[in-house]
A = this chain, B = another copy of it.
């Protein structure tokens, strides 16, 4: 009756999915709408920054050589021959004994080699002419931000695959990217299975629960940077289900179903994979939760059969679907960032298989701690709401105590890492 499935290690399951990863497309979006997208090309400086030598202060541009006699008792006087704000271009070439009044960010006039801040100068007018005097010597180059001192032409500034944050957007604006080449969001289909599922706007009825997994997965897809398409609930007849899934597959890059992957009498997914002729990469993983996770390849599409259990469904997505999405988004760091942290609570359960535990991170005096989310009861859904990380407890261990160091995968981190495992400090 119950088909015997052979569980494979998590790393092996990830490797099998990875061999079937999808390449993503690119598109152009206006700079206004590029936030949180991933750049699809290296951004290289097309001009120096600053593009001209400029003043960091409001003050006077002058020739340092003219100040060499200046000291506290011997002010040196300059005639102020021009007055330029930022964005105004100096017209005059500065000569001996002349100064130009200049505002922050303005281009240094020809002939000048330093800026004296207002604070160290005396300004005055005489016979309708403007003058300034200074009681100290200046050095050549003093208070001048040289052309290219921040960025040289040709310097690589942003790597392909980088998430566009406020600083990246500023770089794009600086170099004139009014249209930004970004990775196109892959489209991930969602189908829920289970006759016990009600829609979110339906009233509860005996034996039924509302469909929360589809909404949760949709949110995980958004967090991963992709787009989702919800196809509704699977009919509980094989032929109709098969039709729905083939139709959905044609419209998406990846198709995720939740539930129906066990060996229960009403679980249709195995039969559908067979009918599709899909290559089932695995249908059991040596992990908790989520051991019945299935991933299958059908042509150039991937089908994820995630568990109907919310927590297993959540973990299955983060482990097996998120890296594929990241690759399609050109993020080289496809895996969740994995760090070491100190366990804040006891976790006395033995782990015959690798266990991914809902948890959240806290910081104290430079140390990172990981805390169990929803420790006291098996409040699955609520504890997912409070989780910011998944603890990774290796299989074959007999439980852990507060104070032990464990691996933790960060769920909200957008940087990630290029290896699944914890390699940095092994």
Contacts and interface: CB of A to CB of B under 8 A. Distances in A.
A305 interface: no
A261 to B, nearest CB: 11
A367 interface: yes
A88 B195 contact: yes
A116 to B, nearest CB: 13
Contacts of A218: 32, 35, 169
A310 interface: yes
A176 B210 contact: yes
A424 B366 CA distance: 12
Given A219-B165, A262-B104, A366 B368 contact: yes
B381 A52 contact: no
A200 B178 contact: yes
Contact of A385 (B170, B214, B216): B170
**A50, A90, A168, A177: which has the most chain B beta carbons within 10 Å?**
A168
A385 B262 contact: no
Given A49-B381, A106-B196, A150-B381, 12 more contacts: A35-B222, A50-B209, A166-B216, A166-B314, A167-B383, A170-B212, A170-B213, A170-B216, A170-B381, A173-B210, A178-B199, A367-B367
A168 to B, nearest CB: 4
Interface string A394-415: 0000000000010000001111
30 contacts: A2-B119, A32-B218, A51-B209, A58-B262, A58-B265, A86-B308, A87-B197, A87-B207, A87-B208, A89-B206, A106-B196, A107-B206, A166-B216, A166-B223, A166-B384, A167-B383, A167-B386, A170-B219, A171-B212, A173-B200, A173-B211, A174-B210, A175-B210, A176-B201, A176-B202, A340-B364, A342-B366, A365-B425, A366-B405, A368-B368
Number of chain A interface residues as a range = 35 or more
Interface of A: 1-2, 31-32, 35-36, 47, 49-52, 58, 83, 85-90, 101, 103-107, 118-119, 123, 145, 149-151, 157-158, 162, 164-178, 194-197, 199-204, 206-220, 222-223, 262-266, 308, 310, 314, 337, 339-342, 363-368, 377-388, 405, 412-415, 424-425
Given A106-B196, A195-B86, A211-B173, A167 B387 contact: yes
Contacts of A388: 415
A216 B266 contact: no
A363 B386 CA distance: 22
B103 A215 contact: no
Nearest to A342: B366
How many identical chains are in the complex? 2
Contact of A201 (B167, B178, B206, B337): B178
Given A101-B265, A216-B173, A207 B89 contact: yes
B207 A308 contact: no
A366 B341 contact: yes
B366 A264 contact: no
Given A206-B52, A207-B107, A368-B366, A85 B381 contact: no
Contacts of A208: 87
A385 B58 contact: no
Contacts of A412: 165, 412-414
